[in-house]
Structures are given as C-alpha cells and as structure tokens.
C-alpha cells in the first residue's frame, strides 16, 4: 500500500513537470520542502519556478521503485528515473529518494534528492570513473 501511494504521488510531481503546471507542482510540496540536486539546494518556490516557462520534461519512466516506512506518517520512496528534458536530444538517468509526509487523506513531499547515474559502458555495467573498464 505504501509503495502504491507514494508512487502515485511521485508520478503526480513528474506529470506536473511534463504539463508545465507550477501550481500542481507546488501543491504536492511542503512549504518547507528541501530538494538536493547537483546544482545545489532548492526550496518549494525554486522547484515550482522551473515551470514558469512551461514543461521541463517531455517523457519519463520510473523503475526499481522501493518504499520504506520512516515511522508514523512518513515514507521514503527511492527509484530510478529515465527521462527526456524538453528541448534536449539525449535522455538522462538518475536515482531519486523522496520523503513524503501524510497530511490528512493524502501525502506531501518534504524532501527529495537526485543522484545522476553513472554512464553505462559497452557491457551495460555502470562504473565509477576510477574503476578500470574491461576490454
């Protein structure tokens, strides 16, 4: 049940990015939301502001979803996101962890962290740049 609930909430955030709907995005985030990204920290206003000029994502696919209860009324959703940014040629992959808090009958996102995936090699295995690549 937790996995289904949090997955639906997370997809609603991604759907807002696809539609360019800043209001829907903001409604899913806590007023004190904190995002941790490769570009730095972001609050709710920062996260929603990216949509003021329209959609930022064309398509997305969430896989390897995992949910963990973090005590009463809190849950962690972690997953792999494959997506195509609007106006970009190459797809991107990142691993995401989001913490959701139960509010009334629903959930609100209080924290999210994105970790860009390492590039895949010719054998499909992801490696840190310091690892030797087999030939």
Q: Which of 57, 63, 93 is nearest to 78 (CA)?
A: 63
pTM score, whole prediction: 0.87
Range 2-116: architecture per CATH: Roll (3.10)
pLDDT per residue over 22-35, tens digit each?
Answer: 999 999 999 999 99
CA distance 111 to 119: 26
Cβ contact 102:9 at 8 Å: no
And the tokens for 32? 């004190």
pLDDT per residue over 43-91, tens digit each?
Answer: 999 999 999 999 999 999 999 999 999 999 999 999 999 999 999 999 9
């Amino acid at each position: 049940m937790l996995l289904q609930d949090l997955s639906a909430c997370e997809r609603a955030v991604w759907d807002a990015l696809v539609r360019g709907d800043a209001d829907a995005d903001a409604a899913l985030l806590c007023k004190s939301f904190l995002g941790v990204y490769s570009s730095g920290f972001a609050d709710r206003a920062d996260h929603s502001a990216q949509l003021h000029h329209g959609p930022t994502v064309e398509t997305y696919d969430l896989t390897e979803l995992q949910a963990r209860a973090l005590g009463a009324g809190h849950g962690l959703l972690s997953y792999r996101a494959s997506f195509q940014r609007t106006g970009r040629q190459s797809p991107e992959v990142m691993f995401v962890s989001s913490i959701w808090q139960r509010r009334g009958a629903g959930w609100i996102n209080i924290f999210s962290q994105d970790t860009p995936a390492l590039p895949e090699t010719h054998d499909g295995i992801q490696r840190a740049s310091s690892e030797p690549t087999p030939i």
